[in-house]
Amino acid sequence: AAELYAKVPERANLVARIPGRGEGPRLLLLSHTDTVLADAAEWQLDPWSGELRDGEIWGRGALDMKGQVAANAVAIASLAREGFEPSGDLIFAATADEEVGEDFGLSWLCREHPDAVGAEYCVNEGAGDRIDFGGGRIFYLCSAAEKMSSPFRLIVRGRSGHASMPGIADNALVKAATLIVRLAELRPEPRLEPEVAAFLHLLTGREVGADEALDVARGVHPLAAELVEPLLTLTVSPTIVSASQKRNVIPALCDLICDCRLLPSETQQEAETLLRETLGRGDYDFEWLEGQGGTRSPLETPLWEAIESFVAVEEPEAKVAPVCLAGFTDSHWLREAFGTVAYGFFPMRTMDPEVAARLIHSADERIAVEDLELGVRFLRHVAQQIGG
């Protein structure tokens, strides 16, 4: 059975299911169909062509995440054709709105049609990269947690005046620049989230403390350090500044927006205390703009075991390593609404993970056909393990 659910007609969400034969756990194969934009002038091939070249499918969204949309569809359709009867519902959802978050997609479905997407388990985007750190340390990354997106605004006050006479004014932009430098110099005390601790334990075979975590990761591999660094503290990146509308007018107000990502164990109240201490006293207002994400799922679950058993069959020398995402996905809507155990995992073995990371939201995005086939095998395996 398949149904379309739409808040507005042009932004429909497709939900299909194989009904469960009993009261077993429901498994949701989640994906989103929307993509970021693409400038054809930057691409070697037409970004909307879906052209197959040298074993790779090119096009915007190939990695994020129409490849997984297709693999999810092939997996559930093939199981349906074979007469698979899961113990609980096997659900396919292709949602319309993840990249921008305008409440046309999963957030709306969870609120308005919870019976359509409610599930005990979910496989979503977020990880699955195969990384070889050398010395026999081969891992497939699986995201079990995500940082919270907590952007904030600072409105800095000064006094306007003619730009030719700065001495009689109080330039809000200059005052904001001082605050920006203070934010750039912020070095919070590191803390070790459980996913990062487990990841480092797998890498090193020992317990690693928060203060040594980054140095230990660097000692293993540069990519390990890249993964760990943003997961030890909150991060702040000033991104948008708005001040005077005229070249010759000193601004009385400066509006500064900062991207801020909090660890799953942090609260906005805790972060605001730290940020205000960093900024110091001044004539400014502080305002959180949102707080999305910051959720996690436990690691000791049947779904985690199903992922591990798949990797053990495909590549016995490899292990599954938990990670926390520096960004966030739609998984948080399910965790918050239903307590769903949601992991980000779509295994990729053919494409180099560093290449894939550079191609997402960039020109020449593409995915290897072999990785799509691997993904279908994984999704079928998980469906049969959870629903068998």
Torsional sign, CA 114, 116, 119, 123:
negative
Using CB atoms within 10 A of its CB, is residue 385 exposed (0-12), middle (13-18) or buried (19+)? Answer: middle
pLDDT of residue 100: 84
pLDDT confidence of residue 101: 82
Q: Is the pLDDT of residue 164 over 90?
A: yes
Mean residue pLDDT of the chain comes to 97
Task: Evaluate if residue 377 carries a pLDDT over 90.
Answer: yes
pLDDT at 1: 86
| pLDDT over 90 at 155, yes or no | yes
CATH of domain 2-132+141-145+294-387: 3.40.630.10
239: three-class secondary structure by DSSP: strand
The C-alpha atoms of residue 326 and residue 226 are separated, in whole angstroms, by 11
Angle ∠(6,330,133) on CA atoms, nearest 5: 145
Q: What is the pLDDT of residues 24-42, one digit of tens each?
A: 999 999 999 999 999 999 9
The residue count of the chain comes to 388
Q: What does the pLDDT read at residue 102?
A: 87
Q: Are strands 253-262 and 235-242 parallel, antiparallel or unpaired?
A: antiparallel
Quote the CA–CA distance of 267 and 313 in Å, as a whole number: 40
Average pLDDT estimate for 322-349: 97
Distances, alpha carbon 59 to alpha carbons 356, 358, 369, in Å: 13, 14, 13
Residue with tokens 């609260």: 267
Give percent of the chain above pLDDT 70. 100
Range 286-300 average pLDDT: 96
Nearest CA-CA partner of 148 in 326, 289, 338 = 326
Given this model, what pLDDT does residue 133 score? 94
At 257-281, the pLDDT tens digits run 999 999 999 999 999 999 999 999 9
pLDDT band for position 22 (cuts 50, 70, 90): confident
- Domain segments of the chain as ranges: 2-132+141-145+294-387, 147-293
Res 367 pLDDT > 90: yes
Region 240-250 average pLDDT: 97
Q: Are strands 121-124 and 341-344 parallel, antiparallel or unpaired?
A: parallel
Nearest one of 375, 39, 100 to 367, comparing CA atoms: 375
In this predicted model, what pLDDT tens digit does every residue of 79-116 receive, in sequence order? 999 999 999 999 999 999 999 888 999 999 999 999 99
Q: Return d(Cα 16, Cα 355) in angstroms, integer.
A: 33
Query: Could you tell me if residue 153 is left (phi over 0), alpha (psi between -120 and 50 degrees) or otherwise beta?
Result: beta
Mind giving me the DSSP string for 48-74? TS--EETTEEESTTIIIIIHHHHHHHH
pLDDT of residue 385: 98
Q: What is the pLDDT of residues 202-231, one digit of tens each?
A: 999 999 999 999 999 999 999 999 999 999
Q: Among 3.20.20.410, 3.40.50.300, 3.30.1180.10, 3.30.70.360, what is the CATH number of 147-293?
A: 3.30.70.360
